[in-house]
């Protein structure tokens, strides 16, 4: 697949050991992290300050008091052990960079993308990572929902999530894997903000159809069920999410929920897998 063009404001820099595509405004500071040096990406990803999510990420201080959140790209799926290590090129993370930058420019609640980093391997392939500006004070919504918050927090979090997912879809965003750990929540002065993260394999397809919107919303809900926090969210939490997503538009709500029967059947099938301990997609 052909690599997309660099988003506006990004430059490509390279050395014998590595290559980066970086926000030009932060190029010098990011280069200062050593990502173009031999072994630089490995050192960066093995830093002491780390977060856990779908995969571990490293937090790296750079520039004037800023923090880079650097996520390694790994091959997933049940065939992952059979695939060659590394990536043939940087096309996949560059597509994530382009989509994230375009959605952010359109007003979607996504992180600010800063860098794609690739370290050359001896076989000519790349180890790769994707970096965004760290969102201080934010935690993934699973961690937030299992913490000992009161019912008011749960309802406000549900509203924030519904509003954020609506904005993401309205900007044309199609998330390949919208689940509870791919929404960050941040509380500031009593208000909760939700941020959609991990846009690997995401795409832009405006307008996003009601069926596609519902499928992603229900994928998010299935992850809530799988993680065992459905009762904590409760019927009121679901109602708050939907009310925020539809913004009181009854006709939009009716059209959105037209495919709910099929999605409920899908949920029932997945719930059987969850209870048996078997999940074919590990989501």
Residues 181-210: what's their mean pLDDT? 94
**Domain 10-133 carries which CATH code?**
3.30.200
Residues 154-167: what's their mean pLDDT? 97
Asked if pLDDT for residue 18 goes beyond 70, the answer is yes
Residues 134-154: what's their mean pLDDT? 91
Q: Considering the chain, what is the average pLDDT of its residues?
A: 90
Tokens of 274: 């969850």
* CATH class of the region 139-276: mainly alpha
pLDDT digits (tens, 9 = 90+) for 186-200: 998 889 999 999 999
CA 100 to centroid of chain Cα atoms: 10
Asked if pLDDT for residue 19 goes beyond 80, the answer is yes
Q: State the pLDDT confidence band at 81, using cuts at 50, 70 and 90.
A: very low
pLDDT of residue 276: 57
Q: What b/e readout covers 129-143, taking b as 16+ CB neighbours within 10 angstroms? A: bbbbbbbeebbbbbe
Judged by average pLDDT, the poorest of 56-65, 77-86, 108-117, 234-243 is: 77-86
For the chain, domain boundaries: 10-133, 139-276
Q: What b/e readout covers 2-27, taking b as 16+ CB neighbours within 10 angstroms? A: eeeebbeebeebeeeebbbbbbeebb
pLDDT digits (tens, 9 = 90+) for 215-265: 999 999 999 999 999 999 999 999 999 999 999 999 999 999 999 999 999
pLDDT of residue 48: 53
Residue that the structure tokens 């719930």 belong to: 271
Query: In whole angstroms, what is the distance from residue 130 CA to residue 148 CA?
Result: 32
Asked if pLDDT for residue 63 goes beyond 50, the answer is yes
Judged by average pLDDT, the poorest of 65-79, 161-175, 213-227 is: 65-79
Asked if pLDDT for residue 76 goes beyond 60, the answer is no
Work out the number of other CB atoms within 10 angstroms of the CB of residue 67.
15
pLDDT of residue 281: 46
Task: Count the helix, strand and coil residues of the chain and give each as a percent rounded to the nearest 5.
Answer: 45, 20, 35
């Amino acid at each position: 697949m052909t690599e997309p063009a660099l988003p506006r404001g990004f430059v490509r820099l390279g050395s014998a050991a590595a290559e980066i595509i970086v926000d030009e405004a932060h190029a010098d500071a990011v280069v200062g992290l050593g990502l173009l040096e031999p072994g630089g990406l490995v050192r960066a990803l093995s830093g002491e300050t780390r977060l856990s999510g779908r995969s571990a990420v490293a937090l790296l201080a750079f520039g004037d008091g800023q923090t880079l959140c650097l996520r390694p790209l790994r091959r997933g799926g049940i065939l992952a052990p059979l695939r060659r290590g590394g990536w043939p090129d940087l096309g996949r993370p560059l597509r994530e960079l382009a989509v994230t930058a375009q959605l952010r420019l359109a007003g979607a609640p996504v992180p600010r993308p800063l860098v794609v980093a690739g370290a050359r391997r001896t076989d000519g392939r790349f180890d790769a990572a994707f970096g965004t500006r760290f969102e201080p004070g934010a935690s993934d919504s699973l961690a937030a929902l299992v913490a000992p918050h009161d019912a008011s927090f749960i309802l406000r979090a549900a509203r924030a999530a519904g509003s954020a997912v609506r904005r993401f879809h309205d900007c044309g965003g199609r998330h390949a894997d919208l689940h509870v750990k791919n929404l960050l929540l941040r509380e500031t002065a009593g208000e909760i903000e939700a941020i959609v993260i991990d846009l690997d394999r995401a795409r832009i397809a405006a307008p996003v159809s009601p069926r596609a919107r519902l499928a992603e919303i229900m994928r998010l809900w299935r992850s809530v069920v799988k993680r065992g926090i459905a009762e904590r969210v409760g019927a009121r939490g679901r109602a708050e999410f939907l009310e925020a997503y539809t913004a009181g538009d009854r006709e939009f709500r009716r059209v959105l929920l037209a495919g709910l029967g099929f999605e409920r059947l899908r949920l029932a099938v997945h719930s059987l897998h969850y209870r048996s301990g078997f999940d074919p997609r590990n989501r």
